[in-house]
Chains A and B, each alone.
Chain A
Amino acid sequence: MNLTSLLPIAMQKETIKSSAQQDESVGAEVSVSADVAESPAGRPDYIKVCDFSFNYVPAVRVLHNITMEIPERQVTAFIGPSGCGKTTLLRNFNRMNDLIDGVSHEGKIYVNDQDIYDRNLEVISLRKRIGMVFQKSNPFPKSIYENVIYSLRVSGQKKKAILDETVERSLKSAALWEETKDRLHDSALGLSGGQMQRLCIARAIANRPEILLMDEPCSALDPIATAKIEELITELKENFTVVIVTHNMQQATRVSDRAAYFYLGKLVEMDDTTKLFSNPEQKETEDYISGRFG
């Protein structure tokens, strides 16, 4: 599927425009070497983070000069000890951090060659292209059905056939269909913790976003559901770009193509997953993944 074809015409134009003007500006700033930017499959980068720093409160930096590329249609894993800023960076990709008072940032983030902090960019259209699964599951106190189709509802989709189809597809993808197909109109709050998390995943993929951000999606799931979600992630990467935060090293090796290790708000190392886990360049990374750390 051609991703740009999903976008409205106006946005496509803007994409082309911004990619044109970006060529000079980014070329200078990107400091990572060319062979890293070009992933093994030779895919173009989809999210580019350029020298990005972030503060929640003035003078307290939680992200320091992060520069990284996330390739299209691949799974990128963020790993690192608790509090190192993985969630913060992830939430910047769809500008969820805008909602917090007093935050500030430096540097740039490009999604599909578009500066997401550009003043002309409509944050709602950005968020419609990005699905997000939060660290804490947060289903709406509505029915399971309404939860799944929420993003379609707010986009004005009213056709019952499409909505029904979306619910079934999304729930099946999130490995929740069998358990809930007979109670779609019951409250989502009656689900178990793990089911709620899978519902949130179904909700995030309902409108087929280009990017799926997952913040520890399996932390509340049993091995079976985890396996299903991992399977889902592998399926999703056919079409979508996936960024996943995980504390589970095995999971990172199983699902991700590339991995980034963060420590104290800095990107320590980013590489192909197989390389990062078998032969890390930095000592800190090696300590962390071999469990000698934290």
Chain B
Amino acid sequence: MSKFSQKIGGSKRERSAPGEPMVWFSGMWLAIGILMIVFLLSVIVVNGLGVFWPKAVVQVELTEASEAGWKQSQYFAGELHKTQVRRVGSADGEAIPEIQLFVGNRDVYGFGFKFIDEHDVLQRTFPKGILLVERMEYGDLIAFPVKLQLADGKVIEAGDQGFDEELQRAVQRASDRRHEITHLERGEIGRVNQKMERLKMRLKKTELKGGNVKQVAAETKLEQDELQERYEKMAAEAAGLRARQKEETFHYRLVTGEQGSLELGGVVCFYYPNQLSTWTKLGHFFSSIWGFLSEEPREANTEGGVFPALFGTFVMTLIMCILVVPIGVVAAIYLQEYAKQGLVVRLVRIAVNNLAGVPSIVYGVFGLGFFVYMMGGSIDSLFYPERLPTPTFGTGGLLWASLTMALMTVPVVIVSTEEALASVTRGMREASLAAGASKWQTIQHIVLPGGLPGIITGMILAMARGAGEVAPLMLVGVVKLAPTLPLDTIAPYMHLERKFMHLGFHIYDLGFQSPDSEAAKPMVFATTLLLIALVVVLNAAAIIVREKLRKKYSSGAF
């Protein structure tokens, strides 16, 4: 309104004055809303990315009188996490400033974080030589290096020339071996296991059908033996590699005085936190982001990466889209183009609109009851009777989760597709029909291309809802730790019956189910950021496709 009156000119502007407070009022609320969203996003971005930025390690020396020390030691070293004020007793008690350190070395101390009162601190230093080691187990090690014991018996003291390079090489060797072990165990041995499983199932199937078990057993014996032999060979190879992982050790000394050693097989990476330049920090930042994205979780998900969850979310969303778009579009075409517009269609439309508002957990329960138990159960008893009582499809899995999500989001697609189809003008349809096109040809050549951007908008909405939903997924196939990805190199490659991990559930699991919530917090933020980023990326991709189509459509190149 104000825009309008401003255009008209000076004399009218005064007349619109009574409307002005409303403009401010509504504008203010919009601003508040936007601010809240920006605030939320920036909290997530700052905290989520901050996880990957290497922090300096501070060594604090405690006063004689302090009781905060570990055993006899008056020292602590760790990353400074926050400074806050603690109140003694009630909320208005004496204010005591304190710091929180991430001290690491959970295997020794039994805790990862330590609160220390400011007045207990005698002095703070930043020792150059202190080393931070990311380990496969027990989180980070923060200590001074002592020596490196190599496989060939050579010992390199920490102060010696080339110590860091030698350590780096040893860590690299261990990491290579680790990859080899994973490759062996997941890939080769997995394949052999699967083949053996198939043979076993064949036997059981013949047994169920009342066939000649002995004959089949004899037939498969040779193959079985061969597989067993191969399995043992590879298992031995893996065991040998594992043993070598323990040969080289790294010795260290904590600031509290304890000495210890660490097998290099358990080291992920190491760096000197107080010697990093901005560039190396940046390098470390990006490499740990990459690690977060590409690695598997360790230690009850609180360490390592989230690759399985990222992949699971992505694949589930994709399958959901593949299922939901055709169903929704076809349904919308019927409703909008073919059905006689009357009371029934109106009722159906209202029902569809309301379905979009049904709480998602209801879909989860439906998915569990209908898809998992009824359909999955029937599939199992029809096609996989030999595996029972172990369910194959009769338990939550990727397919059922995708189907449940598709069911949940189909109203969104129907509604926006209907709108898109309705937006194609009558003149357009008439021109097509007058040219001798059939109804279906008109839909195909004129209405659907014209409605495509709107259909993709529906898909985007469905995707955003599907990727962010957690509650129903917990019932139909998401787990906190899936041993295998739903996609691998073992035929049939796509394992729709497998359980999978999901970023949304991962966040819930980390934040609320993990034993050490303080240790899990950085991961919660990082995973939240990743989930948001994934949804943004998926949506952006869809939007780009839509704009491309729009351009193509208006330039008529198809």
Contact = CB atoms under 8 A, between A and B. Distances in A.
Contact of B434 (A125, A132, A142, A155): A132
A96 interface: yes
A124 B554 contact: no
B445 interface: yes
Contacts of A186: 555-556
Given A124-B438, A154-B441, A154-B445, A140 B555 contact: no
B89 interface: no
B48 to A, nearest CB: 43
B427 A185 contact: no
A116 interface: no
A187 B449 CA distance: 14
Interface stretch (A56-64, A77-85, A143-151, A283-291): A143-151
Interface of B, secondary structure class, is helix
A203 B554 CA distance: 18
B445 A153 contact: yes
B432 A127 contact: no
Contacts of B431: 134, 138-140, 200, 203
Interface in B398-440: 425-438
Contact of A150 (B426, B430, B432, B557): B432
Contacts of A222: none
Nearest to A200: B431
B454 interface: no
Interface string A262-289: 0000000000000000000000000000
A138 B341 contact: no
Contacts of A39: none
Nearest to A138: B427
A185 B555 CA distance: 8
Size range of the interface on B?
20 to 34
A116 B518 CA distance: 80
Interface residues of A, number: 36
A118 B338 CA distance: 23
B434 A141 contact: no
Contacts of A169: none
B446 interface: yes
Nearest to A188: B556
Given A142-B556, A186-B556, A96 B425 contact: no
A35 interface: no
Interface in A176-223: 185-189, 200, 203-204, 207
Contacts, number: 86
A146 B446 CA distance: 12
Contact of A187 (B426, B446, B555): B555
B450 interface: yes
Given A143-B555, A186-B555, A127 B434 contact: yes
B508 interface: no
Contact of B436 (A127, A142, A185, A188): A127
Given A96-B430, A151-B435, A187 B554 contact: yes
B556 A99 contact: no
A147 B435 CA distance: 10
Interface in B500-558: 553-558
A127 B555 contact: no
B247 to A, nearest CB: 69
B442 to A, nearest CB: 8
A99 B431 CA distance: 12
A143 B556 contact: yes
Interface string B272-286: 000000000000000
A59 B557 CA distance: 47
Contact of A138 (B430, B441, B556): B430
A177 B291 CA distance: 61
A141 B556 contact: yes
B445 A141 contact: no
B496 to A, nearest CB: 39
Nearest to A137: B427
A153 B426 CA distance: 20
A86 B474 CA distance: 65
Contacts of A185: 556-557
A101 interface: yes
A196 to B, nearest CB: 11
B444 to A, nearest CB: 9
B445 A150 contact: yes
Interface centre among B431, B436, B449 (most CB of A within 10 A): B436
Given A127-B433, A134-B434, A189-B556, 16 more contacts: A96-B433, A99-B426, A101-B341, A124-B437, A127-B436, A128-B436, A134-B431, A138-B427, A138-B430, A141-B553, A141-B556, A150-B432, A151-B435, A187-B555, A188-B556, A207-B436
17 contacts: A127-B436, A131-B434, A134-B434, A139-B431, A140-B428, A141-B450, A143-B556, A146-B556, A151-B436, A154-B441, A154-B445, A155-B436, A185-B557, A186-B556, A187-B554, A189-B556, A203-B431
